[in-house]
Amino acid sequence: MSRSQRSDADQSHTDQSHTDRSTTHRSRRNGVFLLVGLAVALLLAAVVSSFASGSPDGLESVAESQGFLDEGRDSTTAGSPLSDYGTAGVENDMLSVAIAGTAGVLVTFALGACLFWFVRRRNGSGGTGGSN
């Protein structure tokens, strides 16, 4: 093997090594970003949501002022354990809202993660750190 062929092979190996490190660094950065985002969302759901206004929301307020509030039907999930921004069976209102908010964030995060995993698999990158 000539000197220039060895140099090309060394350069190719160096480029691949750099790409692998860059991909690993990017994956780690993305993981940290997702975890921090999840932590902030959980904090907001568990703590800040307890201080939300107890007044009717905009749609409910308009329905009441226009006189058709009583014509509305309950949602099909009205009897579920996490309906109406609370948790059934939990007497403490702040804790009830915190549990419901935390559950909502975790379910939404899990569904989003599954969706992204499915789309990534479908596009063929297969979690290899590719750009797809």
- Checking if the pLDDT of 13 tops 70, the result is no
CB within 8 Å of 52: residues ≥ 6 apart: 85, 97
Q: How far apart are CA 28 and CA 24, in angstroms?
A: 6
How many other β-carbons are positioned within 10 Å of the β-carbon of residue 13?
A: 10
pTM for the model: 0.66
Tokens of 88: 């059934």
- Checking if the pLDDT of 30 tops 60, the result is yes
Tokens of 108: 């939404």
Q: How far apart are CA 132 and CA 125, in angstroms?
A: 6
The CA–CA distances, whole Å, from 24 to 32, 46, 67, 73, 107 equal: 12, 33, 59, 52, 28
Among 23-27, 71-75, 125-129, the range scoring the smallest mean pLDDT is 125-129
